[in-house]
Chains A and B, each alone.
Chain A
Amino acid sequence: MMRPPQPGANPRPPSGFVKRLRRHPLLLFALVLQAALVLLPLVYMLSTSFKLPVEVFEVPMRWIPRELRIENYIEPLQQRPFVRWFVNSTIVAVSVTFLNLVTSVLAGYSFAKFTYPGRNILFGFILATFFIPLEAFIVPLFILVRDLGWLNTYAGLIIPAGGNAFAIFFMRQNLMTMPNDLIEAARIDGASEPRILLSVVLPLMRTAISSIAIFCFMWNWNSFLYPLLVATQDAYRTLPIGLASFESAYSTNYPQLMAVSFLAMLPVLIVFFILQRQFIEAIALQGVKG
């Protein structure tokens, strides 16, 4: 962003950066304070995770622990199936995201570019569910999943979450702005409908697909109420549910609790830092498109 001054170049007035720094001192101060408030709980987590239980509530708080007790990170993994929960979270979030993408690209394309009767009613029904929180129909949903014999199965964790109203809405909006000419041209060339979707439409949806993928993955990775009900056995719990159960059972060992929480947070944070632009744009698009 900021170019270093070229040696031998004309002496320049203070760079834009310095000027900006001077122009907004109070704002900068406020933002630094806000950033500190955001980061504080996370630093606290990291710091506490290396302590002895008796050191946690020491006054004054010691931000740098006396010694780094790495055991806090290892012992919980031996006591409880955190690795399994991590694997479950990954399997479920990846599968649900994949299903969300397939169903939303197909349905979004169908609702945006086809004219069969009833399509608006179908879309209306799906969109309406976007405004109805899961919490409002969780009881019958649980009963349904139980009756299907899907409690404590991957099918139960994945399939009912396979449709995502927002993703469908988003894909439809995205495709509405795409000109029909390309599709018509492919039809005249005699391409079949699935082929048109795969070779003409899909390549143009790359950005929309990656936005929705990030969005759905984050959403499902953090999903709580539904897996809490469907996965009651350790073997099928996802990470957030496993953590919450660990918290209620081992809540007195705060350093260990912080250590596993930190571990659980790490993968998403790493993915976030790698893809931060896409993450933020995915959310931003949600507002602008909505």
Chain B
Amino acid sequence: MPRFRLSVRARQDAWGFAFALPAVILFGVFAVYPILRTFYLSVHRYSLVGTPEFVGLTNFRFILTDAGFAQTLRNTGFYALGTYGPVLVLALVMALALNTGVPFRNAFRVINFIPVVISWAIVAIVWKILFNHQGLINQFLGAFGIDRIPWLQSTTAAPWAVIIPSIWKELGFYTVIFLAGLQTIPRIFYEAARIDGAGRLQAFRFITLPLLRPILFFATIIAVIEGVKVFIPQFVMTGGGPSGATKVIAVSIYETAFAFGRMGRAAAMSVLLFAIVLVLTSMQNLVYGRDRS
């Protein structure tokens, strides 16, 4: 009897493992292997032909002392903060606004979500025209007597010309996530707070924020990753220019690997990107505490 049971159990286990197998193979081959391979390549010189040649930490030494790459890191930080700081705050405001009894709120929610479903490539192309020297945005500013801004040609304006469409595109996604979070908070909490004489701000501070914490945590992690890995808006709108003013890590990796053929150096940049994501997400773990799974 016990032996029979064991074999049933073993058969179950085998089926369980078999069910996981397709995913495990795909992830092993197309994620885990290339991730490990990134570390390997980062200490080699390789140009897509021949065999990789071991060069120690040369690639890291190069990128960490290169002024251009330091600029790239600053640009990435600027983009991530400049885009996702406002996005998270505005999304919370939007979610709070849509969580009231305001009329047409479903229509607003749907409209606000439209940019999320549009390809980044299309968004970047449209905004590139809007930011044209003679484009609609400069026309609008002109109406207020502001001189035309060379949005895509100036090193000070170009980073903003990439950030603004990003806020436009990303807002709806985080609004929906926050709104879903707000809707899980039972109304009775607010009623109880009101009876106890708490004002709206107090209710927000002591009910909404703490209960929204897990979702804020999740959203911030996603936002940080999205921010530091950004590629399409810069690639399509500015190509990283003018003079590197909007070059971010992913654009730099792309360029180094596929325009200059320096796979090793691009892999070293990838390792750095990987490290940045790791540090930032674990920092968030500390900030928010690990109060959920």
Which A residues lie at the B interface, using CB under 8 A?
Answer: 17, 20-21, 23-24, 27-28, 30-31, 34-35, 37-39, 41-42, 44-45, 48, 56-57, 59-61, 102-104, 106-107, 109-111, 113-119, 122, 125-126, 129, 131-144, 146, 159-163, 165, 168, 193-194, 197, 218, 221-222, 224-225, 229, 239-241, 243-244, 247, 254, 257-258, 261, 264-265, 268-269, 272-273, 276, 279-280, 283-288, 290
Contacts and interface: CB of A to CB of B under 8 A. Distances in A.
17 contacts: A17-B103, A28-B103, A104-B23, A110-B16, A110-B19, A116-B17, A125-B32, A133-B277, A138-B270, A139-B41, A144-B37, A146-B48, A222-B119, A265-B119, A279-B117, A288-B180, A288-B215
B143 to A, nearest CB: 9
Given A35-B112, A56-B129, 13 more contacts: A37-B168, A38-B114, A44-B130, A57-B134, A57-B135, A61-B139, A113-B16, A162-B30, A240-B121, A243-B125, A247-B125, A247-B236, A284-B176
B162 interface: no
Nearest to B251: A135
A185 B181 CA distance: 36
B177 A284 contact: yes
Q: Which 6 pairs between the two chains have the least Cβ-Cβ distance?
A: A114-B16, A284-B180, A287-B177, A140-B37, A107-B23, A163-B26
Interface stretch (B67-75, B195-203, B224-232): B224-232
B38 A27 contact: no
A276 B110 contact: yes
A131 B273 contact: no
B231 A59 contact: no
A57 B31 contact: no
- Between B33, B111, B120, B173, the greatest number of chain A beta carbons within 10 A of the residue's beta carbon is seen for B111
Interface in B116-133: 116-130, 132
Interface of A, secondary structure class, is helix
Contact of A136 (B115, B125, B215, B270): B270
Chain B residues touching A, range: 35 or more
Contacts of B80: none
Contacts of A111: 20
A225 B254 contact: yes
Nearest to B143: A60
Contacts of B215: 287-288
A136 B231 contact: no
Interface in B191-238: 215, 218-219, 221, 225, 228-229, 231-232, 235-236
B281 interface: yes
Contact of A114 (B12, B103, B126, B176): B12
Interface string B133-171: 011100100100000000000000000000000001000
Contacts of A61: 136, 139
Interface string B254-289: 100110000100110011011001100100000000
B251 to A, nearest CB: 9
Nearest to B115: A38
B65 interface: no
A131 B284 CA distance: 13
B273 A136 contact: yes
Given A247-B236, A279-B117, A165 B27 contact: yes
Contacts of A137: 31, 34-35, 37-38, 270, 274
A35 B123 CA distance: 16
Nearest to A138: B253
B23 A27 contact: no
B112 A38 contact: yes
B57 interface: no
Nearest to A254: B129
B117 A268 contact: yes
B94 A34 contact: yes
Contact of A221 (B97, B119, B139, B218): B119
A213 to B, nearest CB: 14
B27 A163 contact: yes
Contacts of A257: 125, 129
